[in-house]
Amino acid sequence: MRRLPLLLVSLLAGLALVAAACGEETSTEAGDTGTDDTASEEPDGVSLDGAWILVQSSVDGTPLALLEDYAVTMNIEGTDLGGRAACNSYGGNLVLTDTGFSSGDLFQTEMGCEEPAMSLEFAYLSSLARVETWTRTGNSAELTGDGVSLTFELVPPPPTADLVDTAWVLDTIIQGDAASSTIAGAADARLLLDADGSLTGSTGCRTFIGEFVETGSTITITNLTMDGDCDADFVWQDNAVVSVIEGEVTVAIDGPHLTLMAAGGEGLRYTAG
């Protein structure tokens, strides 16, 4: 057999090694392409935290007639559930899963309101106890259960920086469709909310102190303490102020004006002073 020259043998061996090396590199790249060691993380879960207002509802096939002056709200913060059920404030515990909704230990205040507000309140709280599932799309949330559908819209928070640390002077008392100016001769009825959650103010004849908690577009005033006496001429204004600021109120700021609205269409309008 004829032997190949030594130089040619060495050259062929080198080419074989290069080919083998190239084959190994190609195989490794193919394996890397099939495996992603830096897979993206799943997006954060959707939350129901926030302040919500009921915009549509159906119970056992019948729509609930919502009332403009008696808003139904729902405030959620973690496992805490609360809000206004048309007339009274309510609260309770909440357990949420990916799609599950379960409320418990529901309680409510015992203020009386005219019809049909009380009927709406009863129907809402009864249906809330039947809710089992929830979904959220953007700023809309739907709670559903056996024969129950409640649709809420997210309420944007008020501009806190404008709400607190501003001296507000009362200029208008709102009662339903009527609006009245403050009583001439009374001292300025003022309101000051501090960033630490405390508040001070006056009705025009009595002073008060208390605390408040802001949730979305509402504030809940607690531990309200009044001091002083009112002449007979100013009792009406004093009662009107106290009836609004005791409990939960809806907050709206429009330029230099602050409006607080309670259930039943009672409200107070202040101007920054």
Ordered domains of the chain (ranges, CATH): 50-154 (2.40.128.270), 160-272 (2.40.128.270)
Is pLDDT of 111 > 80? Answer: no
| Lowest mean pLDDT across 82-86, 161-165, 180-184, 212-216 | 180-184
For range 73-98, the mean pLDDT:
87
| Lowest mean pLDDT across 102-106, 136-140, 182-186 | 182-186
> Which has more pLDDT, 110 or 120?
120
pTM here is 0.55
- Mind listing the pLDDT tens digit for each residue in 214-235? 877 888 898 899 999 999 988 9
Counting residues of the chain whose pLDDT is more than 70, the rounded percentage is: 80
DSSP states of the chain: -PPPPHHHHHHHHHHHHHHHHHHHHHHHHHHHHT--TTPPPPPPPP---EEEEEEEEEETTEE---BTTB-BEEEEETTEEEEEETTEEEEEEEEE-SSBEEEEEEEE------TTHHHHHHHHHHHHTTEEEEEEETTEEEEEETTEEEEEEEPPPP-HHHHTT--EEEEEEEETTEEEEPPTTSPP-EEEE-TTSEEEEE-SS-EEEEEEEEETTEEEEEEEEEES---GGGHHHHHHHHHHHSEEEEEEEETTEEEEE-TTSEEEEEEE-
Q: How confident is the model at residue 26 (pLDDT cuts 50, 70, 90)?
A: very low
Give me the pLDDT at residue 192, please. 95
> Which has more pLDDT, 30 or 90?
90
For range 102-126, the mean pLDDT:
87
| Lowest mean pLDDT across 43-57, 126-140, 146-160, 175-189 | 175-189
